């Protein structure tokens, strides 16, 4: 990512409505996965570490990050074992195996997204799971994607094909950030049609608006365990290696259409 993007993220990650709402949704999803009480968890591509405290509710957390700017910020939180690493070929922590690997808005940054998933599968315990999020809809491409050095936004078909080709079976597949989708999509389309200059910066809205948007976004946490949402700004999947057997059923939403 652009160094400017890391600086923005570090300053906003604990308070901005998008990060706050997403963490609440992810926490609810992970709570439905049958992890052992002392789960070993890896966040691959942790950025400045905004998800580490949430993940630590479910076990001991390891994290990897390639950015020399974000890496010390994640370490400074004092929550996880954080090491420098890069997908797909430089995953740290030796032979450590994990019950859960979180890959949260990371795949879109990688040239080799299939190879990254295949490499991470080798670090999963036989009973392990992956939680994956990516931005949805290529037609929503914006200046924010440029700032974050995204390689792509994913369609449903692209992400499903990617997960299956990497050797993953899918337990949950859903859009999210759905309630705010009409507003966000409308703004981006208007900018494209009217050729308005987009600001790539992620800014903190007024306190009252930030709280309202966080509550609207986070409300999806109560739907996703029951339903696969039909549209949204992002996609979320829970998956496990196809070769794994004897797996406990999940208590979260089944694969959607």
For residue 82, list its beta bridge partners.
63
Q: Residue 256 has what pLDDT?
A: 41
pTM of the model: 0.91
User: What is the model's pLDDT at position 255?
Assistant: 42
Query: Are 132 and 163 spatial neighbours (Cβ–Cβ below 8 Å)?
Result: yes
All structural domains of the chain: 3-240 (3.40.50.150)
pLDDT attached to residue 254: 45
Distance CA 105, CA 102 (A): 9
Paired residues of 39 in beta bridges: 59
* Positions of the chain with pLDDT lower than 70, given as ranges: 1-10, 195-201, 243-257
Cβ(224)–Cβ(176) below 8 Å: yes
Residue pair 134/108 in contact (Cβ under 8 Å)? The answer is yes
């Amino acid at each position: 990512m652009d160094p400017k993007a890391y600086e923005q993220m570090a300053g906003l990650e604990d308070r901005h409505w998008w990060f706050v709402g997403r963490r609440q949704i992810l926490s609810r999803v992970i709570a439905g996965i049958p992890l052992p009480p002392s789960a070993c968890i890896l966040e691959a591509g942790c950025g400045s570490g905004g998800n580490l405290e949430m993940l630590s509710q479910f076990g001991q957390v390891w994290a990897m990050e390639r950015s020399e700017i974000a890496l010390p910020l994640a370490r400074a939180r004092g929550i996880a074992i954080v090491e420098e690493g890069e997908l797909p070929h430089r995953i740290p922590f030796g032979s450590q195996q994990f019950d859960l690997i979180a890959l949260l808005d990371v795949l879109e940054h990688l040239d080799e997204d299939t190879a990254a998933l295949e490499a991470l599968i080798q670090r999963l315990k036989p009973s392990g799971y992956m939680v994956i999020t990516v931005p949805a809809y290529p037609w929503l491409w914006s200046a924010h994607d440029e700032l974050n050095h995204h390689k792509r936004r994913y369609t449903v078909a692209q992400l499903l094909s990617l997960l299956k080709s990497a050797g993953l079976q899918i337990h949950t597949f859903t859009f999210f950030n759905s309630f705010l989708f009409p507003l966000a999509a409308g703004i981006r389309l208007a900018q494209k049609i009217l050729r308005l200059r987009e600001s790539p910066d992620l800014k903190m809205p007024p306190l009252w608006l930030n709280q309202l948007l966080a509550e609207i976004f986070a409300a999806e946490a109560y739907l996703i365990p029951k339903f696969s949402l039909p549209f949204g700004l992002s996609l979320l999947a829970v998956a496990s290696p196809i070769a794994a057997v004897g797996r406990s059923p999940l208590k979260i939403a089944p694969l959607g259409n």
